[in-house]
């Protein structure tokens, strides 16, 4: 702008009573993670979290996935199961725990509930994973992938507000409890994620191995403990 024209503009605004001029700064760039948003009506919903997740490309796990596997079950459930991540069957169907390990988990939930006199089916609980996309070759999710996707897991748990969480396997234990302790040491003991009681136990895929019969019995005991705590 020409200096004389600028001087005239400044004098004009000064005559209007303005003491100073400022330059508007652009908004900060969008952050990678989004924080939970509560409204006057309560915490955010699972539908809102899923919409925010969108067609996620926040980490490298998007490169080979077929679809995102968000979660399934009762959004008002008192009990949430958290696993590691989708496998091939889950990636194909978009539903967590539908392969062999998922079928075993369903049997564990429903058979244990029936034996203990608790009217409970798989669809009555909520099931999700730490990461929402299948890691290539079913490898263990890496730390940055768990951190990025874990933000959405934490929001899911905050939205559901269950009475208890059952974490399945070492990856889920690490994500929720921030510990390097193994499943064998932690299983069967109540711990806490924020203010929610957490029961660590074995992942169903581990229990499918023929030599893990003792672990299978321990997992059933862990599940009985969880079901009686939540539903008695």
Within 13 Å of residue 43, how many CA atoms lie on the same side as its CB? Answer: 15
Within 13 Å of residue 14, how many CA atoms lie on the same side as its CB? Answer: 6
Percent of the chain at pLDDT above 90? 78
pLDDT for 167-195, tens place per residue? 999 999 999 999 989 999 999 999 999 99
The token pair that represents 149 in the structure block? 């996707």
89, with CB counted inside 10 A (0-12, 13-18, 19+), is middle
Given a cut of 50, the residues of the chain with pLDDT beneath it are 1-2, 5-6, 9, 12-13, 15-36, 39
**CA 48, CA 66: separation in Å to the nearest integer?**
22
**CA 36, CA 96: separation in Å to the nearest integer?**
23
Confirm if 220 and 116 have CB atoms less than 8 A apart.
no
**CA 76, CA 147: separation in Å to the nearest integer?**
25
Task: Fill in the DSSP letter of residue 42.
Answer: B
The token pair that represents 148 in the structure block? 């990025």
Look up the pTM and report it: 0.82
Confirm if 184 and 150 have CB atoms less than 8 A apart.
no
pLDDT for 200-221, tens place per residue? 999 999 999 888 889 999 999 9
Q: Is 42-231 CATH 3.90.870.10?
A: no
Q: Hey, is 191 helix, strand or coil?
A: strand
């Amino acid at each position: 702008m020409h200096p004389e024209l600028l001087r005239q503009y400044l004098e004009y605004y000064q005559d209007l009573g303005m003491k100073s001029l400022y330059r508007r700064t652009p908004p900060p760039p969008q952050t990678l993670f989004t924080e939970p948003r509560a409204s006057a009506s309560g915490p955010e919903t699972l539908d809102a979290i899923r919409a925010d997740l969108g067609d996620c490309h926040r980490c490298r796990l998007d490169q080979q996935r077929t679809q995102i596997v968000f979660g399934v079950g009762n959004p008002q459930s008192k009990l949430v199961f958290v696993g590691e991540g989708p496998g091939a069957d889950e990636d194909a169907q978009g539903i967590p725990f539908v392969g062999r390990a998922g079928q075993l988990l369903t049997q564990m939930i429903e058979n244990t509930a029936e034996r203990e006199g608790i009217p409970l089916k798989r669809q009555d609980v909520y099931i999700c994973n730490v990461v929402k996309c299948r890691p290539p070759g079913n490898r263990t999710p890496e730390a940055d992938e768990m951190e990025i996707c874990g933000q959405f897991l934490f929001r899911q748990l905050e939205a559901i507000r269950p009475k208890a969480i059952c974490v399945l396997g070492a990856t889920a234990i690490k994500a929720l409890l921030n510990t390097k302790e193994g499943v064998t040491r932690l299983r069967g003991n109540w711990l806490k994620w924020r203010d929610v009681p957490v029961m660590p136990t074995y992942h169903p895929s581990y229990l499918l191995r023929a030599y893990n019969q003792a672990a299978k019995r321990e997992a059933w005991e862990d599940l009985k403990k969880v079901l009686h705590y939540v539903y008695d």
